[in-house]
Structure 1
Amino acid sequence: MSTAPAPHSAVEAALLIDGTTVEIRPITAGDRQAVLDLHTTGMSEESRRLRFLGVSRTAPRLAADRLCGPHGPGLLALGAWADGALVGEADCELLDEPRGTAELALVVADRWHHRGVATLLLEHLVHAARSRGVRSFEADTLSGNHQVHKVFAGLGLPVHRRFEQGGVRVRVPLEEADEHYREAVDERARRADLASLTALLRPAAVAVVGASRREGSVGRTVLTRIRQGGFTGRLWAVNPSAGAVGGTPAYPSVGALPAVPDLAVLAVPAAAVPDVAEDCGRSGVRALVVLASGLGPEQARNLLHACRRHSMRLVGPNSLGIAHTETAVRLDAEFGGAFPLPGSAGVAVQSGGVGIALLERLAWLGVGVSSFVSLGDKYDVSGNDLLQWWEQDGRTDLALLHLESFGNPRAFARTARRVTRRMPVLTVDAGRSEAGRRGAASHTAAAATPTVTREALFRQAGITATRSIDELVATAGLLHVQPLPAPRGAVAVVSNAGGIGILAADACAEAGLTLPEPGPGLGRLLPPGASARNPVDTTAAVGPEDLARCLDALERDPGIDAVLLCLVPTALATTSDRDPLRALLDGPARRHVPFAAVLLDQQVPIRYLTCADGGRIPAYSDTVAAARAFAHARDRARRLAEPPSPEADAPGCDLRTARSLVDGHLAAHPEGGWLDPLTTADLLESHGLPLVTSVWARDEHTAAVTAAGLAPLGHEGKVALKAYWPGQVHKSAAGAVRTGLAGEGEVRSAYQEFTRAFGTGLAGAVVQPMAAPGVELLAGVVQDRVFGPLVVFGMGGTATEVLDDRTTRLAPLTEHDLTTMVDDLRAAPLLTGYGGTPPVDLDAVRSVLARLSRLAADVPELVEADLNPVIARPGGAVCVDARVRLEPRPSFDPYLRRLRRPLPAGEG
């Protein structure tokens, strides 16, 4: 077993099933008294009998000595702490290193039973043990210890039981922590999250701390809005200088309130926030909304520590507030613009200004809100939390997000993938400028801009990413009231003026939609001179009856997936009975395909038209907005048509060899760096990546001899010679590659050129047989510190930056990702067969991507891998050049249950 430090070197905060916050950290020598107290005063005699398989007065002391005294690297012990007290402990100790078997022990204080402490500890222990090479847990239990057997059974991992002499030997294989286990962890996380958010979003009592008697102040404004909004619970103000504020009873402190509020809204200066939060926590408050901005690093840490210590969920700081329109609650605790209308759209924003603008536009449109949360600086409650709330609240059917940062993008994507199956989730993709592009050391890193990474996250999560607030509202307006189109996205454009129809057709085509020819017979429904092609030009002479028949025919046309009606005001429609808009208004709003209108005389970007059946159709003032909304609807339809895809399979990967290579390199190079050619080849081979045969030659003679042996394997009997020196990155740009070498003389001549060019820095050269020609591809990985590993795939070779034809996905890839990554390339026909050329071996290409994804997930220290070119041919795929860079990084499980860590020293 490795003696590397435990992954849990820092405190992790996490939620129990009832919403209580506990801290998980390794048990140290200084915890001896706490461990002893847990095993004595924290447990009944019966609990100690079940834990130690009998009655023993010395057992608690021996347990404390084992966990807190001197011990070898084979022991790993984690404790769960609540408000400074140890409430549970789980440990494992290696028994059989070759088999990776560890003995497991588990203890929870009696009064903390049935709250999920044991399961949470086991989840963290599974993660820590697996990163240390443990393959299975084993434990001896009494058959009557029903509680511990229930914990094992509900963990989500296979449990094997063997009855021995009245006891039960339990074995839990950790290598089977697969998708089923992740789903079990997801469900526990969801339940804990919902329990913790109830005090925030469905409070029975609210206190506004810092509510001033001064009209127009933030605290007074929030207090007034809560009262005017009709909050159904109890409401108090906290003001040490007033007996009442605006008719609301006031008290000098939270502790002086007549009852404990579920939620406290803090409208106090930044300097006072930590102390007020601590006062709230001691009083039993379960949720905070902090409106103040500008907290310093120490204030921020103290605020978050108070929330963790007292199990309070936190919105903000720098929050505009929250609102919840459910009839049983009716809470409007924010100081924005218009009151949110009640409805079914969940809204979460980081920017208060964006929140105000979004609520105003939704109000103009008439779209109501189920709940609104201004996340602010997002110390705790995040978009991921809100998605899980909206998923189950029974009211929300549309989610709108504005997120400027991501605490755990892969956990967010996992939640979003599930939620987007039930409702549309839309966001504004902010910060797309090239100013965010970072300096890169390889082609792969050059492709991994923040924009690309975010787009990959949204694509894989099924989130509809728009480019502006107006586009977000325009798309939400369509999705909220109209059915989805078929995944083809075939749109019929109908207009009463040829010019606007052409503009709409152009906008649809530019948005990636198609405009097929309508079926025969449409022309007979239109006035003379009309065009029944797509776009359909009805001419200004069309009446509402003829236009309605035209729209009905298009709705029934099996080749049409959506209809866009574009109308301009004309002198012919001078009375309501001649108004072509009646063709929509007099008909049903909800049809078999989505309908929308473009009205050029409309003064607002989007509004709803109310039809005869009471339903609504969106009307836009601009053809581009309508086309983009239809394109987003088409993309959502395509997403829903795809069945859930399993993680990409990469059989035969040798994690132990990979770990040995990585640990060996980092032991010799503690700061990391680029691997030498031989170690690179060995690491890629551990995960089955097809690197062309490569032999290291330290001098000219060895290179010549090696080339003679490899030449028969090469295309046309030739070899390639590649110079190497430590720190090398771009070989071709440095003139360090010679290809197509035939015979000893050409090899020696090339090596001599390297010697003259690179001098004493030359460490040697790699000799390879020449690969047969094919399509040159790029495949690589970049580890982002926030988003995790990103897999890049595209056209390769020396012109990869010029071609700029690449696509990206966050690892781990799914089987569906392997297909769509190929399809996304503009040059995809070169791979699938074009102009008489046969297709390349796509299974081999997908295998490269799947194995890269697995390598990135298995080795978090792999911060950059660049396989370029990978030559794909009908008979397979082979990588002829590769570079790999490592850095020391801890293992990180994005699906482990934990809350955001307190801010490190020096960070705000």
Structure 2
Amino acid sequence: MPTAQPFPSTVEALLSDGTTATIRPLGPADREAAYDLHAVRMSDESRRQRFFGASRLAPQLAADRLCAPPRPGFLALGAWVDRELVGAADYETVCGRPDTAEIALAVADEWQRHGVATLLLEHLLHAAREQGVLAIEADTLAGNRAVHKVFTDLGLRVHRHLDHGEIRVQVPLDERDEHYRSAVEERGRSADVASLVPLLRPRSVAVVGASRRPGSVGRTVLEKIRQGGFKGELWAVNPYAERIGGEPAYPGLSELPGTPDLAVLAVPPGVVSSAAEECGQAGVRALVVLTSGLSGADAQQLLHSCRRHSMRLVGPNCLGIAVTNDAVRLDAEFGAAWPLPGTAGVAVQSGGVGIALLERLTWLGIGVSDFVSLGDKYDVSGNDLLQWWESDGRTNLALLHLESFGNPRAFSRTARRVTRKIPVLTVDAGRSAAGRRGAASHTAAAATSTVTRQALFSQAGITATRGIGELVETAALLHAQPLPTARSSVAVVSNAGGVGILAADACVDYGLTLPELPAHLAIDLVDLLPPGATAANPVDTTAAVGPDELRSCLDLLERSRSVEALLVCLVPTALTTSPEQDPLRALRDSPGRRRIPVVAVLLGQEVPVQYLDCADGARIPIYADPQSAARALAHARDRAAWLAEPPGAEPALTDCDPEAAKDLVARFLDAHPDGGWLNPSLTADLLGCYSLPLTTSVWAPDEHGMVLAARSMRQLGHEGKIALKAYWPGQVHKSDVGAVYLGPGDDASVRSTFRDFENRFGERLAGVVVQPMAAPGTELFAGIVQDQVFGPLTVFGLGGTATDLLDDRTARLTPLTENDLHTMTTELRCAPLLFGYHGHPAVDLTAVQDLLARLSRLADDVPQLAEADLNPVIATPDALLCVDARVRLEPRHPFDPYLRRLRRPVED
């Protein structure tokens, strides 16, 4: 029988109209609210549909049942909006069938068709599945269309059986059903976008704390909103001023002539929470809090007011927001630059970064659709804004600066979808080696903060840059030019041979290729260029090249289809001082919209990148140095390669027993509440639940057992040498302390080895693992590490003693898709060893990918898996064998990254 269901005290999530609902278990203190829900807030018809009749006692009985003390196999959840119970749902396991549960739903009439039932059901099913429930059942009336729609739209397979006017609904709970995940995701996206409308498409704005003092934050924001031509109503709120800047001011929100959609708070830290509560009571639906320095209590109260009153929150400690949509035209931020209207969405955590980025974009001429300074990011996050830009029909480029991630897996899933439509660029902020220093094992050492972020960006198709300059330079290319193909072949054309060589070197540095041009093409190029020109790639046009000749050269290269990008390097010379001979004319007067991307380098240019406006209205980015141009092309190449791969699915796996694994983990943590390393026997059992390829191992607690184990190896046909590995709890690297013996398996050698272990390790020695010697092959390592923020990460690389020496490894967040598996086994520097190198045979790559997939599934199924280290894994052409494995468990409550919930940023 399942135990009483653990459930977070409160979970906040968005209903379909953007209203914030609080989901929490019902208890005895909620009985009056539950009775009121059924007796007062549901009509006679709703009660008939719910209870199959019109019994007067039904509301009382329902309240008693829902609000009874916790009991095994039962859970009741309530949905609350502003302290009002608007819906309830419960499950109870069926007697004799603990893997099946009966469910019931009730929603107040005025809250029907707001997504209350669906949201409750999602959380109820998640809780039931965690308690081992595999299917739910419900009896409904045939005419209850509303509840049937809830089940139909859920995204899971629904079976219905009609019997005498009642319909028995049965729903299997497949936690890995991609259709269900996508349905939940779409509901979340739709609700998220609805909740952001008051923030990013407000019809009225109040600046609370607008000051009479020029230069203050509140006064500056108020004036920027006015001068920016905001299309809606704008009000200043200040209890100590009648007029500000010649316009009337109001003492409080209750005195305003209307209810603002959005309030911008520029008040002292100690006033923020009370101002937010006043906004919520007045009906405001979104806040931008510019104030910094909030205390912990004020921060909690601010967030509480926003959640209670269904207000979305940007900040605190932020620069503000700007919306350039012509129907809005809101500039509510205090940066120096005025964002140009355009199609680039910008979200930053750092106000300083936001100011710098806006200034560079404005100078370059890239317009912004929405600018949001996230600040301390209590609520609205990069994930929210990606979903908004995905849906707004205007944004075609997203630029992000994120210092933290509240729910990286939800962000990754959203970004994977959004990056299929628009480029998403980010600054990889906070790179540090500090995360590696305290790591205990190979896998943990590999999982630095940089590795985890890079894994997130790679899987999601996000273009990660190393600074604001690189971000803007890459955006300039992606915003104005087409993508190359994944072949990444480039033709470098230069009017100075030395600069062409530097550009060629830069291209190679970033993984681009410069193919030798076909002979016929080279001849044609030399014929149209000045004497002395060469066309081997790089193409040296000589300094005497004129604009017409250069344009013809570029046209010929494009038409030839021999390359997929053009990099034009120009050096001002005395021969090009007249406007007629300016080589930039070749780019300015020719079509800027080509089949392939064109970028230019102009040595001596004072700015890192600028646009050249072409005759057809297109723009070509011009860089100050070849490195920047090549790097931007490489980012464009990577995006093209990512888009060329179809979205991957999780591989189908057989021979996995997650229930047995969960039972083993539960038993271990019952005996070791603080967690710890599994002994070799339990490690083999856990990995065996997922059919991971472990070598034959025998656990020997003493000398006699070790001798018998070695004899059994010989009897089983394992001739020659054996491996003896001393073990004790907490052991990390066996070879570093001499805890491994490789040699003959005769009785004398085995006894001598045990005594040596005993002498050197003393009372620490808990036993010895006896294994046959593995056949030679390529040594690899694979592992899992549980990141506190990012969740489980699968790490793979070259194994054995080379693991730390060569640092050749790759990582991906679970769950791994088929694309992830392919990429992980091909992007290592040692990848040629896997495919066959210098006469060495290729390894069984299918088996390698299968091992990584099974590790990923194990990590997803068992969140208590803190760390797993399989090293070395011996790969041969015919098989894969893990000869050493270590696993550490720690108590951890399951977290479903796809379950709809608002983040708790104060805890991040």
Fold shared per TM-score above 0.5: yes
Amino acid in structure 1 at the alignment position of 2:785: V
What residue number does 1:690 align with?
Answer: 693
Q: Is 1:592–2:595 an aligned residue pair?
A: yes
How far apart are 1:547 and its partner, in Å? 1.2
How far apart are 1:902 and its partner, in Å? 6.4
Which stretch of the first structure deviates more once superposed, 24-33 or 479-488? 24-33
1:162-221: CA deviation from partner (whole Å, max 9, x where unpaired): 112321111010026511001101110011001100000000000000001111010000
Amino acid in structure 1 at the alignment position of 2:484: P
1:410-443: CA deviation from partner (whole Å, max 9, x where unpaired): 1001111111111110011111132343411110
What residue number does 2:13 align with?
Answer: 14
Quick one: distance in 2 between partners of 1:97 and 1:659?
A: 22
What residue number does 2:141 align with?
Answer: 142
SS in 2 for 1:593: coil
- The equivalent position to 2:683 in structure 1, one of 657, 680, 683, is 680
- The equivalent position to 2:747 in structure 1, one of 720, 744, 749, is 744
What residue number does 1:768 align with?
Answer: 771
Amino acid in structure 2 at the alignment position of 1:633: A
What residue number does 1:611 align with?
Answer: 614
SS in 2 for 1:103: strand
How do residues 617-696 of structure 1 correspond to structure 2 at under 5 angstroms?
617-696=620-699
SS in 1 for 2:140: strand
- The equivalent position to 2:830 in structure 1, one of 815, 827, 840, is 827
Q: Do the aligned residues in 2 keep the contact of 1:420 with 1:463 (CA within 8 Å)?
A: yes
Quick one: distance in 2 between partners of 1:835 and 1:98?
A: 60
How far apart are 1:155 and its partner, in Å? 0.3
How do residues 370-449 of structure 1 correspond to structure 2 at under 5 angstroms?
370-449=369-448
SS in 1 for 2:902: coil
Quick one: distance in 1 between partners of 2:255 and 2:492?
A: 66
Q: 1:468 to 1:902 in 2, by over 3 A?
A: closer
Q: Do the aligned residues in 2 keep the contact of 1:864 with 1:884 (CA within 8 Å)?
A: yes
How far apart are 1:64 and its partner, in Å? 2.1
How far apart are 1:714 and its partner, in Å? 6.5
Q: Do the aligned residues in 1 keep the contact of 2:551 with 2:587 (CA within 8 Å)?
A: yes
Q: Do the aligned residues in 2 keep the contact of 1:711 with 1:719 (CA within 8 Å)?
A: no
How far apart are 1:3 and its partner, in Å? 2.0
How far apart are 1:716 and its partner, in Å? 4.2
Amino acid in structure 1 at the alignment position of 2:686: L
Q: Is 1:557–2:566 an aligned residue pair?
A: no
Q: Do the aligned residues in 1 keep the contact of 2:5 with 2:73 (CA within 8 Å)?
A: no
Quick one: distance in 1 between partners of 2:96 and 2:555?
A: 73
How do residues 379-528 of structure 1 correspond to structure 2 at under 5 angstroms?
379-519=378-518, 520=520, 521=523, 522-528=525-531
- The equivalent position to 2:864 in structure 1, one of 861, 864, 867, is 861
Q: Do the aligned residues in 2 keep the contact of 1:321 with 1:374 (CA within 8 Å)?
A: yes
How far apart are 1:900 and its partner, in Å? 1.4
1:702-733: CA deviation from partner (whole Å, max 9, x where unpaired): 11112111235566443211111122222222
Quick one: distance in 1 between partners of 2:276 and 2:100?
A: 45
SS in 2 for 1:771: coil
What residue number does 1:364 align with?
Answer: 363
Q: Do the aligned residues in 2 keep the contact of 1:324 with 1:370 (CA within 8 Å)?
A: yes
1:421-467: CA deviation from partner (whole Å, max 9, x where unpaired): 11110011111132343411110000000001000000001000011
Quick one: distance in 1 between partners of 2:716 and 2:777?
A: 17
Q: 1:515 to 1:715 in 2, by over 3 A?
A: farther
Q: 1:318 to 1:176 in 2, by over 3 A?
A: closer
Q: Do the aligned residues in 1 keep the contact of 2:27 with 2:69 (CA within 8 Å)?
A: no
1:82-140: CA deviation from partner (whole Å, max 9, x where unpaired): 11111111111111565610111111111110000000001111111111111010011
Q: 1:578 to 1:714 in 2, by over 3 A?
A: farther
1:2-49: CA deviation from partner (whole Å, max 9, x where unpaired): 42651x223111000000000011112222222222121121122111
Q: Do the aligned residues in 2 keep the contact of 1:732 with 1:798 (CA within 8 Å)?
A: no
Q: Do the aligned residues in 1 keep the contact of 2:609 with 2:622 (CA within 8 Å)?
A: yes
What residue number does 1:601 align with?
Answer: 604
What residue number does 1:268 align with?
Answer: 267
Quick one: distance in 1 between partners of 2:247 and 2:381?
A: 31
Q: Do the aligned residues in 2 keep the contact of 1:19 with 1:193 (CA within 8 Å)?
A: yes
Q: Is 1:194–2:193 an aligned residue pair?
A: yes
Q: Is 1:733–2:736 an aligned residue pair?
A: yes
Amino acid in structure 1 at the alignment position of 2:741: R
Aligned residue pair count: 904
Q: Is 1:282–2:278 an aligned residue pair?
A: no
SS in 2 for 1:79: strand
Query: Aligned-pair RMSD on alpha carbons?
Result: 1.3
Q: Is 1:330–2:356 an aligned residue pair?
A: no
Q: Do the aligned residues in 2 keep the contact of 1:438 with 1:449 (CA within 8 Å)?
A: no
1:626-652: CA deviation from partner (whole Å, max 9, x where unpaired): 010000000011011111110133222
Amino acid in structure 2 at the alignment position of 1:776: E
What residue number does 1:155 align with?
Answer: 154
Q: Do the aligned residues in 2 keep the contact of 1:79 with 1:121 (CA within 8 Å)?
A: yes
Q: Do the aligned residues in 2 keep the contact of 1:714 with 1:769 (CA within 8 Å)?
A: no
Which stretch of the first structure deviates more once superposed, 531-540 or 192-201? 531-540
What residue number does 2:343 align with?
Answer: 344
1:473-500: CA deviation from partner (whole Å, max 9, x where unpaired): 1100011111101111111111111111
1:315-356: CA deviation from partner (whole Å, max 9, x where unpaired): 000010000001100000000011100000000000001001
How far apart are 1:783 and its partner, in Å? 0.6
What residue number does 1:215 align with?
Answer: 214
What residue number does 1:3 align with?
Answer: 3
Which stretch of the first structure deviates more once superposed, 526-535 or 364-373? 526-535
Unaligned runs of 5+ residues in structure 1 are: none
How do residues 797-816 of structure 1 correspond to structure 2 at under 5 angstroms?
797-816=800-819
What residue number does 1:530 align with?
Answer: 533
What residue number does 1:32 align with?
Answer: 31
Quick one: distance in 2 between partners of 1:571 and 1:33?
A: 90
SS in 1 for 2:906: coil
Quick one: distance in 2 between partners of 1:845 and 1:625?
A: 37
Quick one: distance in 1 between partners of 2:778 and 2:689?
A: 25
Q: Is 1:43–2:42 an aligned residue pair?
A: yes
SS in 2 for 1:824: coil
Q: 1:679 to 1:4 in 2, by over 3 A?
A: farther
Q: Is 1:575–2:578 an aligned residue pair?
A: yes
Amino acid in structure 1 at the alignment position of 2:441: S
Q: Is 1:103–2:102 an aligned residue pair?
A: yes
How far apart are 1:903 and its partner, in Å? 3.2
Quick one: distance in 1 between partners of 2:165 and 2:417?
A: 44
Q: Do the aligned residues in 2 keep the contact of 1:300 with 1:903 (CA within 8 Å)?
A: yes
Quick one: distance in 1 between partners of 2:140 and 2:464?
A: 52
How do residues 27-176 of structure 1 correspond to structure 2 at under 5 angstroms?
27-70=26-69, 72-96=71-95, 100-175=99-174
Quick one: distance in 1 between partners of 2:19 and 2:428?
A: 34
- The equivalent position to 2:892 in structure 1, one of 885, 889, 895, is 889
Q: Do the aligned residues in 1 keep the contact of 2:5 with 2:131 (CA within 8 Å)?
A: no
Amino acid in structure 1 at the alignment position of 2:823: T
SS in 1 for 2:633: helix
SS in 2 for 1:151: helix
What residue number does 1:705 align with?
Answer: 708
Which stretch of the first structure deviates more once superposed, 271-280 or 136-145? 136-145
Amino acid in structure 2 at the alignment position of 1:3: T
Unaligned runs of 5+ residues in structure 2 are: none
Q: Do the aligned residues in 1 keep the contact of 2:12 with 2:20 (CA within 8 Å)?
A: yes
Amino acid in structure 2 at the alignment position of 1:80: A
Quick one: distance in 2 between partners of 1:595 and 1:69?
A: 70
What residue number does 1:548 align with?
Answer: 551
Q: 1:880 to 1:436 in 2, by over 3 A?
A: closer
Which stretch of the first structure deviates more once superposed, 194-203 or 576-585? 576-585
Q: 1:825 to 1:98 in 2, by over 3 A?
A: farther
